[in-house]
Copies of this chain bind each other. A is one copy, B any other.
Amino acid sequence: MLLIFVSAKLMADLAERIGQPGIVGEILAGVLIGPSVLGWLAPSELLSALSDLGAMFLLFRVGLEVKSSELLKVGGTATLVAFCGVVVPFVMGTGILLAWRAPLNESIFVGASMVATSVGITASVLPAKGLLHEISSKIILAAAVIDDVMGLLVLAVVSSVTHGTVNLLQLSLTALAATAFTVIVAKWGTHAMNHVVPHVERGWRVAESRFVMAMAMLFSLSLLAVYTGVAAIVGAFLAGLALSESTGEREKDLAQGVSELLVPFFLAGIGLHVNLSAFSHASTAILAVVILVAAVISKFIGCGLGALGMGKADALRVGIGMIPRGEVGMVVAQLGLGFGILSQSSYGVVVFMSVATTIVAPPLIKLTFGALAPAGTAAVEEEVFRLE
């Protein structure tokens, strides 16, 4: 644990010094100490549990800073962004693999792995730069949540198609449950919490009762999210959203402590999964680069088109902000590997794409959002953010 935490922070420091976001350093730290370079550490059950918790707290914290009413206001645009951002990468990814003469099932699976954006990565860059209140940030967050629900459906469809059995009823039920859960919590969660939290504060005898309440919400919504089929981190984000109006500074600080501790495990954990030995064949390496470029361009075009109604500058930002695939692509890849549909080399390609999009995006985000925050050093921007 010490090794991960310290190396992630050292690399983050290094990254900041050369003008890159710290997050890139933390992911690269995972690559560095992981199996492919130094081989000091391999992914383990404990590390992945810590990394999941880290992602949950990250999204919870981001949720706390955003008002659900503001997200719902951009709901239409966000849905369009999410939809285009799902279709374009899926078609492009499947097409490339087919052109590469991969089997149809494998091609579809690689396409599916390029669908979902890792909201965690973008979410960890935006607050650090104090940009969470920009309209484009809100679209990105809302679109990433919708995108997660759509990605889930794509994965469900793809899994059943490649297995040869399509159960339409079950697919529609999954879609309904996931959508209902997300919409209900986003729409009425804040209102409900505004009523419940004061009661809890008066009624409970436990110290730090509001924080205890917040943690209970965080865990139960994450669990509920998993049951309805959405990712746990979407549940965590919705929990934060629901509590955003009823939570005080102290609870935010307490949650911030947990997230400061655990987020490096999430970021370095992503890097840990990279295994460069998969690229010993030149053709695999070329495919990896082609897929990476396609993943970047397709999301950028798809989401950018969806957001074009907001004006060119915001469309650019949304397109860039949706690029990182992070842990979501890797989950799909692991599933495909388990089904025996993905070969080891396409698995390596997808993991590489997931990590590389994640490393490429933060500097681009910094660049495109840069004009909005000309305040100079990150420290100053953070101060501004904290004062808001």
A99 interface residue (CB < 8 Å to B): no
A382 to B207 CA separation, bound complex (whole angstroms):
9
A17 interface residue (CB < 8 Å to B): yes
Cβ-closest chain B residue relative to A251 = B257
Residue numbers in B under 8 Å from A254 (CB-CB): 253-254, 256-257, 260-261
Interface 0/1 of A171-212, CB less than 8 Å to B: 000000000000000000000000000000000111110011
Whether the pair A211, B2 counts as a contact (CB closer than 8 A) is no
Surface stretch bound by B, among A5-13, A144-152, A366-374: A5-13
Whether the pair B257, A219 counts as a contact (CB closer than 8 A) is no
Size category, A interface: 35 or more
Residue numbers in B under 8 Å from A223 (CB-CB): 2
Cβ-closest chain B residue relative to A208 = B260
Interface 0/1 of A33-54, CB less than 8 Å to B: 0000000000001100100000
A206 to B11 CA separation, bound complex (whole angstroms):
10
Main secondary structure of the interface of A (DSSP, over half): helix
A175 to B260 CA separation, bound complex (whole angstroms):
36
Find A2's partner among B2, B22, B216, B257 (CB 8 Å cutoff). Answer: B216
Interface centre among A6, A12, A128, A205 (most CB of B within 10 A): A205
Find A205's partner among B13, B257, B260 (CB 8 Å cutoff). Answer: B13
A384 interface residue (CB < 8 Å to B): no
A378 interface residue (CB < 8 Å to B): yes
A250 interface residue (CB < 8 Å to B): yes
Q: A45-B45, A257-B253, A257-B257 are in contact. Are A16 and B205 (CB under 8 A)?
A: yes
Q: A16-B206, A205-B16, A206-B22 are in contact. Are A216 and B9 (CB under 8 A)?
A: yes
> Assuming A2-B219, A255-B257, A257-B258, what are 7 further A-B pairs, CB within 8 angstroms?
A9-B212, A13-B206, A17-B205, A45-B46, A128-B207, A205-B378, A207-B382
Which 7 pairs from chain A and chain B are nearest by CB? Answer: A254-B257, A257-B257, A16-B205, A2-B219, A253-B253, A13-B206, A9-B212
